[in-house]
């Protein structure tokens, strides 16, 4: 369980997050949506402390971290082992092969043996249908392929929660579909996931729970059924903007 | 003409092999070690507070001063200070021979320039790489040594190769601290045979040959280092 209480994050001009209180349950897929600049990414990045909130409490399992205090390296590394992150861009380590990317952290962070890490990596790559790319370098793969590797790389650390920050918004629709299929499979395997996305179709299909963020506040927290079929006036406007844009295109 | 080359080229080449090349290679190895250390220390952002932080500031200031002083003064002057100046302090272990003065100045000078090249290549690695590694739970040290440095090394190779070429030619300055390397020898020979034009052209050609031969490995090193990037030509 991940629990955020009274999370504040201020930049000089504005609040990125304003008194956020939310609990993420295990084995659920939570989809976070909202307009640009609403704090979605900041919220997600706060969960593995790439972004450091100014204050608030963060509870993982039965350990509570006071975010207004300086954090020890040990705490930081512990949080990051609990949470895997997939970014908008795949962020492959360009100097390592795909296999090198996969086993880098398992070998050097989890101290797995190379053989053990490699075996597990092959399984994960096979699951995203890319086992044949193990010996290639990232530049030899397409954007959609590297993003699938990035997901597999995060899963290699066996994180309790997989965090994804607009994982498909840099991809064209065909490649996006490949990545979404992988995520959909993961959702059905009950991998705990928290996803920031603009893809409403995906949200509708994969989400167990929807969060709508605006101006650093959670404006909606409920089921996708409620979100899409019985939306508030504000969410309706948000959803219509998507439809309008799609008809235009 | 042929007679001239046959007489003098072998002597010059022997001087080159005995002095120019060892001077260049030894100084370059030391320079790269210095440059790497200085670049890494100056790139490091410490988490320390209080006295630890102050210590880092002082260290970084000293390193910055070293780079500044060696980049903003002529190498010839540096050689004179070390070889003729330091002995005046009267401390015997500080009084270098011509050889050690040359190695000291060549490596410190090249190290200062190369450290800036390495520092630039370290900071050219996008922060997204650091974040991606941090998100996988890697420590700052692991991120630097295993993710940033290997990629920065590739980028710094052309500049380091350039520094090396400059260094080979700069060994000619060692003539002023009594080392009879190629250029000094050519001066001595020209003073006897009264053929300065032919003599200095010959030594120039031999420098060019040395630089060319010594630059061969760069191509292979670069090809190896570029294995993980798209063909750019």
Token pair recorded at residue B200: 């200095």
CB contact under 8 A, B129 and A91: yes
Residue numbers of the domain that contains B54: 1-231
Task: Output the CA–CA distances (angstroms, integers) from residue B208 to B81, B112, B202, B213, in the order listed.
Answer: 29, 25, 10, 9
* Burial degree of B158 (CB within 10 A; 0-12, 13-18, 19+): middle
- The dihedral built from the CA positions of residue A176, A182, A185 and A186, taken in this order, carries a sign that is negative
Backbone angles phi, psi at A64, to 5 degrees: -110, 130
pLDDT of residue B214: 92
Average pLDDT for A88-99: 96
Q: What is the pLDDT of residues A18-66, one digit of tens each?
A: 999 999 999 999 999 999 889 999 999 999 999 999 999 999 999 999 9
CB of A86 within 8 A of CB of A154? yes
| Residue A242 binned pLDDT confidence (cut-offs 50, 70, 90) | confident
**So what's the ipTM on this one?**
0.91
Q: From the CA of A95, how many Å to the nearest CA of chain B?
A: 5
SS3 category, A24: strand
Per the confidence metrics, is the pTM higher than 0.90? no
Q: Torsion-angle region of residue A200: left (phi > 0), alpha (psi -120 to 50) or beta?
A: alpha
Q: Which residues does chain B have within 8 Å of residue A153's beta carbon, measured at their own beta carbons?
A: 136
Testing the interface with B: which of A69, A75, A84, A94 to mutate, by most B Cβ within 10 A? A94
Residue-range domains of chain A with CATH:
2-248 (3.40.50.300)
Q: If we measure between CA atoms, which residue out of B104, B126, B124, B111 comes closest to residue B39?
A: B111
DSSP state of B180: -
Average pLDDT for residues B74-100, to the nearest whole number?
Answer: 83
Which residues lie across from A162 on neighbouring strands? A84, A193
Residues in contact with A215: Cβ distance below 8 Å, sequence separation at least 6, in sequence order = A15, A18, A38, A39
3-class DSSP state of A208: coil
Mutant choice from A79, A93, A95, A159 vs B, greatest count of B C-beta within 10 A = A95
Phi, psi torsion values for A8, nearest 5 degrees: -120, 140
If one counts the domains in chain B, the total is 1
Helix (H, G, I), strand (E, B) or coil at B232: coil
CA A30, A35, A38, A40 torsion: positive or negative? positive
Q: Which DSSP helix (H) or strand (E) runs through B35?
A: helix B21-43
Which tokens is A16 given? 């990125």
Structure tokens at B147: 């993710």
Q: Is A84 on the interface with B (CB under 8 A)?
A: yes
Which of these, A197, A192, A190, A191, lies nearest to A211 by C-alpha position?
A197
Q: What is the pLDDT of residue A248?
A: 47
d(CA B55, CA B43): 15
CB contact under 8 A, A50 and B128: no
> Are residues B151 and A94, on separate chains, in Cβ contact within 8 Å?
yes
Helix, strand or coil, per DSSP, at residue B32 = helix
The CA distance from B164 to B91, in Å, is 32
d(CA A233, CA B110): 68
Residues B2-60 pLDDT 10s: 899 999 999 999 999 999 999 999 999 999 999 999 999 999 887 777 788 899 999 99
Contact, A95 vs B151, CB < 8 A?
A: yes
CATH number at residue B96: 1.10.3720.10
Question: Edge-to-edge, what's the strand order for the sheet holding A192-196?
Answer: A83-86, A161-165, A192-196, A29-33, A209-214, A217-222
Residue with tokens 């030391």: B30
CA distance A20 to A43: 9
pLDDT reading at A197 higher than 50: yes
Contacts of B142 in chain A (CB under 8 A): 108-109
Is B216:B161 a contact under the CB 8 Å cutoff? no
Task: Kindly report the average pLDDT of chain A as a whole number.
Answer: 93
A167 burial level (CB within 10 Å; 0-12, 13-18, 19+):
buried
- The answer to whether B213 and B159 are in contact (CB under 8 A) is no
Band of pLDDT at residue A223, cut at 50, 70 and 90 = very high
Rounded CA separation A241/B71 (Å): 59
pLDDT at A249 over 50: no
CA distance A80 to chain B (A): 5
Give the ranges where B75-97 is alpha helix by DSSP (H): 75-80
Could you tell me how many CB contacts below 8 A there are between chain A and chain B? 67
- Chain A residues close to B135, C-beta within 8 Å: 48, 50, 80, 84-85, 87, 154
Strand order across the A15-24 sheet: A15-24, A2-10, A55-60, A63-66
> Given this model, what pLDDT does residue B2 score?
87
Contact by Cβ (8 Å): A192, A160: yes
Q: A25-49 in b/e burial notation, b at 16+ Cβ within 10 A?
A: eeebbbbbbbeeebbbbbbbbbbbb
Residue with tokens 């570029």: B226
At A216 the three-state DSSP class reads: coil
């Amino acid at each position: 369980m991940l629990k955020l209480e009274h999370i504040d994050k201020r930049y000089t001009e504005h609040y990125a997050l304003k008194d956020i209180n939310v609990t993420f349950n295990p084995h659920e897929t939570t989809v976070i949506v909202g307009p640009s600049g609403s704090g979605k990414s900041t919220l997600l990045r706060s969960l593995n402390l790439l972004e450091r909130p100014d204050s608030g409490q963060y509870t993982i399992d039965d350990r509570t971290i006071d975010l207004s205090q300086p954090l020890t390296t040990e705490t930081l590394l512990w949080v990051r082992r609990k949470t895997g992150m997939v970014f908008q861009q795949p962020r492959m380590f360009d100097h390592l092969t795909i296999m090198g990317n996969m086993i880098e952290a398992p070998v050097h962070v989890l101290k797995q043996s190379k053989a053990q890490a490699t075996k597990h990596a092959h399984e994960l790559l096979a699951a995203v249908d890319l086992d044949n790319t193990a010996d290639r370098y990232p530049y030899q793969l397409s954007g959609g392929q590297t993003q699938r590797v990035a997901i597999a790389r995060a899963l290699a650390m066996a994180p309790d929660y997989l965090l994804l920050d607009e994982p498909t918004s840099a991809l064209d629709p065909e490649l996006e579909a490949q990545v979404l299929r992988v995520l959909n499979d993961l959702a059905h395997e009950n991998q705990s996931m928290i996803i920031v996305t603009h893809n409403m179709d995906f949200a509708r299909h994969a989400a167990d729970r929807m969060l709508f963020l605006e101006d650093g506040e959670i404006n909606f927290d409920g089921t996708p059924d409620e979100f899409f079929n019985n939306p508030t006036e504000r969410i309706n406007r948000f959803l219509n903007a998507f439809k309008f844009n799609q008809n235009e295109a | 003409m042929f007679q001239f080359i046959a007489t003098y080229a072998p002597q010059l080449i022997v001087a080159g092999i005995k002095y120019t090349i060892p001077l260049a290679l030894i100084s370059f190895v030391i320079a790269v070690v210095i440059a790497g250390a200085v670049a890494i220390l100056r790139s490091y952002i410490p988490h320390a507070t209080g006295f630890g932080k102050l210590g880092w500031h002082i260290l970084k200031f000293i390193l910055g001063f070293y780079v500044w002083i060696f980049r903003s003064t002529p190498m010839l002057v540096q050689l004179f200070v070390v070889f003729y100046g330091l002995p005046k302090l009267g401390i015997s272990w500080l009084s270098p021979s011509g050889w050690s003065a040359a190695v000291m100045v060549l490596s410190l000078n090249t190290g200062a320039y190369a450290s800036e090249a390495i520092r630039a290549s370290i900071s050219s690695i996008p922060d997204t790489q650091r974040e991606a590694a941090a998100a996988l739970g890697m420590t700052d040290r692991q991120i630097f040594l295993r993710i940033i440095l290997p990629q920065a090394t590739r980028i710094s190779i052309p500049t380091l190769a350039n520094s090396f070429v400059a260094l080979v030619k700069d060994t000619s300055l060692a003539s002023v601290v009594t080392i009879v390397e190629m250029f000094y020898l050519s001066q001595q020979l020209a003073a006897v045979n009264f053929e300065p034009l032919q003599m200095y052209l010959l030594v120039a050609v031999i420098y060019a040959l040395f630089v060319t031969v010594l630059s061969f490995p760069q191509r292979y090193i670069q090809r190896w280092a570029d294995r993980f990037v798209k063909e750019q030509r």
